[in-house]
Structure 1
């Protein structure tokens, strides 16, 4: 009972922070997209927004979030020198709910479909949290379409999270999401607001399902990868070190060439607060993607 109490408190804290984060970030966007629309992909219409001009960079948001909620502070800066394509994944934001069960491979296929629709041969890809897991899957499935990969506070397998995070996923219930700013945001832009309960149940099932994209597949990623993590963001840092080693890092660079991939651990940051460090993340992105 004591452990269950702790787990439920952790879950409520995570949801509360995410709700506050979404509400806070919803006011962050200061520019309008130069283009937006729906790409017909895998039987659904996936919403996207385009900002700026230059080499394309694709942004994938975290669970329950929207383009504006996740990237509102970064898009104005990135779009000064890049063509930014921001996508809302299945059931999120303006993108319709589908009965098709969520999976990392299927969502990564949706991303490829949007790129095909927009005639983008290759791009840099940035994913946060759930979006980072999708970005890993995209890198595995479509190596020829990827220039560089940025993973922010995310994993390619369930064991990449600390045990208490995976335990919290198992206790999620639809009622935790009722009467929240998250629901308000959904009602404001979702193409069919009657699908809210279906969407939440689908996301809960997705979060509870263990996944593993495969160590060997990660090791085969040829594109340079930048991993950005908070020092206390819920990721198992031992597993993170193993991930970086799979990507060619964790070497003695004084005796051999510096690896193409990079690892950044930002101090005093949680899973949510990390995405609020706009200047820090932007600096890492600009240095890595230039």
Structure 2
């Protein structure tokens, strides 16, 4: 188990490096939205129909989306957030729960005067994106979920066992720690932030099959074939969204499922061209 944890952490470091040292552009706007007692940091790129990006656990905008933003913003208005305690967004003792984090997303939209948008979430950000779709359906155009689930049982048992054994010490003096120190408003909150996040990832959650089935917006699910998601549960999710039909005998469903071969949870986000191809084809 220890070796598995080490592998996961090292893969996160590789992902962070591949994104940070890739092509970077400056945001046209950045700032904070005060909502629910927290100042949530955001960056805006490009012009066009808005799309909101929600990063994975322990990550920042650059770590998760550094390769995606330059291309996506060529014909879209991209709004990237840093969630509670991540990156530029200050640590808060506020309980880290999905409904509140999804409400933070809506608060950023309010400040930027965005009535509705497409929402893209990876991993931890994908769970928040599901929550946003459930509680703010009128503000959602299209939903893209990358390697994420709306319930902890959507992960394979070995992944959940790994979550339970994660400890803050694994991340100390790591590139992720360096990335945090580079932008965090209070670097002394590093351990508190990690402890808070680990409570979150270790806590069982289920947003509800019935709530997923009520999502009216088109949904694109992108997953690696070996990304830690239970594929039987993933198919059930796709069925709840109206998929897994014979499109030769009935109408093509508005939602889509893309399984990328030969990819794990972290390596999937390194497939920039593949992710962009699926995003652009679906969102247009």
Alignment TM-score, normalising by the size of structure 2 = 0.99
* Structure 1: gaps (5+ residues): 1-6
RMSD: 0.7
Alignment TM-score, normalising by the size of structure 1 = 0.97
Secondary structure at the aligned position of 1:17 is classed as: helix
Aligned residue runs from structure 1 range 58-207, under 5 A: 58-207=52-201
Q: Aligned residue for 2:253?
A: 259
Distance in 2 (CA, whole Å) between partners of 1:212 and 1:252 is 29
Question: 1:76-126: per-residue Cα shift (whole Å, max 9, x none)?
Answer: 111110000000000000000000121111111111111111110000000
Question: 1:131-183: per-residue Cα shift (whole Å, max 9, x none)?
Answer: 00000000000000000000000000000000000000000111111110000
Aligned residue runs from structure 1 range 216-231, under 5 A: 216-231=210-225
Figure out how many residues of one structure are paired with residues of the other and give that number: 284
Shift of 1:29: 4.0
Distance in 1 (CA, whole Å) between partners of 2:261 and 2:21 is 26
The match for 1:243 among 232, 237, 247 is 237
- Higher deviation after alignment, 131-140 or 12-21: 12-21
Q: Aligned residue for 1:3?
A: none
Native 8 Å contact 2:56 2:64 kept in 1 = yes
The match for 1:24 among 18, 33, 44 is 18
Displaced runs of 4 or more, over 4 A: none
Native 8 Å contact 1:162 1:236 kept in 2 = yes
Native 8 Å contact 1:149 1:224 kept in 2 = yes
